[in-house]
Amino acid sequence: MEVLELQSSVEDEKAQKLAALRVEIDRIDAEVVELIGQRARIVEQVGRLKPSVEKVRVPEREKQVLDRVSQMAAERGVDPAFIEQLYQLMFNYFVDHQQEHIRQRADEE
């Protein structure tokens, strides 16, 4: 009986640690979403300043950002390839969003 109680106690402790870690992940997720939202609002402001759909994508700027965030990732022990993929996803989403906004603006004029 004591072995089962000890095993149960260890399992309870692991479950508590897991729950605490998940709470921390949820907190971090909220911060990540907030920061992406802030970035999205600034990108939207940038998009309003761009004169045409063709001017939305700026490869030199994207490369600068990728180089910078990849370096930051490496310095912090995060896989730079993962960060590059994540940023490429954001770039593509925001470019599409900016282009759509410019098209709508042109249709209204």
Give the tens place of pLDDT for each residue, 19-67. Answer: 999 999 999 999 999 999 999 999 999 998 988 889 899 999 999 999 9
Residue of 12, 34, 14 lying closest to 22 (CA atoms): 14
Q: Are 36 and 89 in contact (CB under 8 A)?
A: no
Count of structural domains, the chain: 1
**CA R_g for the chain:** 22
> What's the Cα-to-Cα distance from 68 to each of 15, 30, 53, 61, 63, rounded to whole Å?
39, 24, 26, 11, 8
Residue 1 pLDDT grade (very low, low, confident, very high; cuts 50, 70, 90): low
The CATH number that applies at residue 34 is 1.20.59.10
Q: Is 33 or 11 the better-scoring residue by pLDDT?
A: 33
Given the structure tokens 């897991």, which residue do they identify?
Answer: 18
What average pLDDT does the structure give for the chain?
Answer: 92
d(CA 7, CA 54): 64
Q: Which two tokens stand for residue 24?
A: 């921390």
Full domain range(s) for residue 101? 2-108
Full-model pTM: 0.82
Structure tokens at 82: 């993962």
Of residues 80, 76, 69, 72, the one with CA closest to residue 39? 69
Q: Which residues contact 39 (CB under 8 A, 6 or more apart)?
A: 90
